[in-house]
Structures are given as structure tokens and as C-alpha cells.
């Protein structure tokens, strides 16, 4: 999975290249290098760009009916990270992203 900081680093390099040129390399080679694609073919570049755009997802599989569970807890379906109030107070808000793996929470 590509981290948010890695995405921001790549975006910064892309903006730099857009402003200051390609340094004598083709657009395809620049994109392959900047995005750290596995290969330099257009297919590898397109796959890498898709990976950068398409944020991985997870679901909240927290079971509030489980003994000792709190209201509005969170458990990531992918990494297993669990967030719950151990003092059994209600956690407020919505989990839009897993705090551990960064995946977007979908229903």
C-alpha cells in the first residue's frame, strides 16, 4: 500500500517536473522514475498511476454485541486494528479512515 506521505512526495516531484521541465527524458520515463513504477513501459506507468489514485478500502467489522464492547468502536477488516473506549463511554464521531493502515472505511 502506498502511504499518504509517499503520495505527497510523488505529487511534489510531478509538480516540479511540470514547472521546470523533463530534464531531457521522455514524459513516460519521467513518470516511471517519479512514480517509482516497476518498469518504464507505458503499462507499468499507468498501473502505478492507478495505484496512486485508487485509495485502498476497508470495512468496520467491530461487533458492538460482543461482551465488553463499547458503542461505536472500530475494527479494520484488513489490518485488524481495533479502537474502543476501555472505560465503556461512547466514542463519538465517524471512522472515515483506519488510524493504523490508512485505508478508507466504506460500508
Are 107 and 65 found together in one domain? Answer: yes
The answer on pLDDT for 39 being more than 90 is yes
What per-residue confidence (pLDDT) applies to 89? 64
Parent domain of 91: 56-107
**In terms of domains, do 61 and 106 share one?**
yes
pTM beyond 0.75: no
Instruction: Check whether residue 65 and residue 86 sit in a common domain.
Output: yes
Q: Mark whether 79 and 48 lie in a shared domain.
A: no
Instruction: For residues 65 and 78, state if they share a domain.
Output: yes
**Tell me: the pLDDT tens digits for 76-95?**
999 999 988 776 666 677 88
pLDDT in tens, 61-81: 998 888 777 778 899 999 999
Q: How far is CA 62 from CA 42, 49, 95, 100, in A?
A: 41, 33, 11, 15
- 60 and 49 both lie in a single domain: no
Amino acid at each position: 500500500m502506498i502511504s499518504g506521505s509517499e503520495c505527497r512526495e510523488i505529487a511534489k516531484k510531478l509538480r516540479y517536473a511540470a514547472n521546470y521541465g523533463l530534464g531531457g527524458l521522455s514524459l513516460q520515463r519521467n513518470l516511471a522514475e517519479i512514480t517509482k513504477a516497476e518498469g518504464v513501459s507505458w503499462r507499468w506507468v499507468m498501473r502505478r498511476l492507478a495505484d496512486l489514485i485508487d485509495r485502498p478500502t476497508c470495512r468496520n467489522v467491530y461487533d458492538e454485541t460482543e461482551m465488553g464492547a463499547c458503542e461505536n468502536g472500530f475494527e479494520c477488516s484488513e489490518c485488524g486494528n481495533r479502537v474502543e473506549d476501555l472505560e465503556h463511554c461512547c466514542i463519538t464521531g465517524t471512522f472515515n479512515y483506519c488510524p493504523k493502515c490508512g485505508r478508507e472505511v466504506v460500508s
